[in-house]
Amino acid sequence: MSYENVKFPEGSLFLVTGGAGFIGSNLCEALLNMGYRVRCLDNLSTGKYENIKPFEENENFTFIKDDIRDVDACLRATEGADFVMNEAAWGSVPRSIEMPLLYEDINIGGTLNMMEASRVNGVKKFVYASSSSVYGDSTVLPKKEGQEGNVLSPYALTKKCDEEYGRLYKQLYGLDTYGLRYFNVFGRRQDPDGAYAAVIPKFIRQLLNGETPVIHGDGQQSRDFTYIENVIEGNLKACLAPSEAAGEAYNIGAGGREYLNDIYDDICKALGKDVKALHDEPRKGDIRDSNADISKARKAFGYDPSYDFKTGIALAIDWYRENL
Ligand SMILES: NC(=O)c1ccc[n+]([C@@H]2O[C@H](COP(=O)([O-])OP(=O)(O)OC[C@H]3O[C@@H](n4cnc5c(N)ncnc54)[C@H](O)[C@@H]3O)[C@@H](O)[C@H]2O)c1
């Protein structure tokens, strides 16, 4: 682990919004294992109580079932919090194309509520989830902060807006905000079910169930698939980043590039399956290739991901085998 030496003042209180989701529950778990106090705010819309149930026994853990669209709930939740990790949002590019108004409400309105509440309550660091989708139609590789194209979906636009608010909250009010542009995160507890599930857990679940997965397009699209441990590291280190590095957004990827067809083959091999995937039309709003330049986060707060794709996928497959 490249965050084992990360230390916060004893008794620090972290608020993790979206803490019952995939990334949020992994953040809660890591913080509890490190001995810190964790408050989790989630409305259980896309997240699951079972993701946090094991933490309820820990006296350092509190769960608040509430909604980031409610500013009073955000104010209550941030009271006394030292650090905020804002993960609550609705993901999925295709779903955002179907319901743009809801995305605006949750992903922009909710994040703005959280920034405002954090400002009012004197939170030290506000670290929030952005996304590699902000690079939009830019074909430049690797993706580097400052070289964004036009966004291709309402989802990407919500994250771009959050970043603008993050910049303004630093500039106007001095709140130390750090946007983390996650690149296709995967790992334990990522939801494999439903029409909008991410591709890695979905393939694993379908293959284990004896179904035939569908790949959108020719499968030659590439992504910087990032194992969850790297994302935990990014969040922890961003909470310790200097004030001068605030108001900015940072790529949080593994720095690699995997093709979907290859990933599919790797998963089949690991599961001992010989199933030819079906192909259909490419999805609207999807980008073709993605791969992160992580030098900005490395320089600003020492982000140094230690899990490459191969290591991460082996760990993820082991977890799904035991837990599905
Ligand atoms: N998973 C990825 O690959 C990826 C990539 C880029 C960015 N992100 C961002 O990371 C964050 C976490 O994503 P995830 O993959 O863990 O998704 P997730 O759906 O598993 O988690 C999101 C959590 O937020 C909660 N939530 C949603 N709306 C809420 C609201 N109005 N009030 C309170 N809670 C609410 C959900 O119930 C859920 O538990 C999101 O902001 C997402 O956009 C994820």
**Residue pLDDT tens, the chain, 324 long:** 679 899 999 999 999 999 999 999 999 999 999 999 999 999 999 999 999 999 999 999 999 999 999 999 999 999 999 999 999 999 999 999 999 999 999 999 999 999 999 999 999 999 999 999 999 999 999 999 999 999 999 999 999 999 999 999 999 999 999 999 999 999 999 999 988 899 999 999 999 999 999 999 999 999 999 999 999 999 999 999 999 999 999 999 999 999 999 999 999 999 999 999 999 999 888 888 999 999 999 999 999 999 999 999 999 999 999 998
Predicted TM-score of the model (pTM): 0.98
Per-residue pLDDT, 91: 96
What residues flank ligand 1, with Cβ below 6 Å?
17-18, 20-24, 42-47, 67-69, 87-91, 106, 110, 129, 131, 182, 184-185, 191, 198
Q: How far is the CA of 234 from the centre of ligand 1 (A)?
A: 16
Rounded to whole angstroms, how far apart are CA atoms 103 and 149?
Answer: 20
Per-residue pLDDT, 285: 81
Alpha helices (runs of H) in 121-198, residue ranges in sequence order: 154-173
Residue burial 100-122, b: 16+ Cβ < 10 Å; e: rest: eeebbebbbbbbbbbbbbbbebe
The ligand 1 atom at the shortest distance from the C-alpha of residue 24 is 16
User: Is 155 annotated as catalytic?
Assistant: yes
The ligand 1 atom at the shortest distance from the C-alpha of residue 19 is 39
Instruction: Please name every residue paired with 110 in a beta bridge, in sequence order, or none if there are none.
Output: none
What values do phi and psi take at 191, rounded to 5?
-70, 120
The full set of domains in the chain, from first to last, is 13-184+228-255+292-306 (3.40.50.720)
Q: Let me know if 261 is exposed, middle or buried by CB neighbors in 10 A (0-12, 13-18, 19+).
A: middle
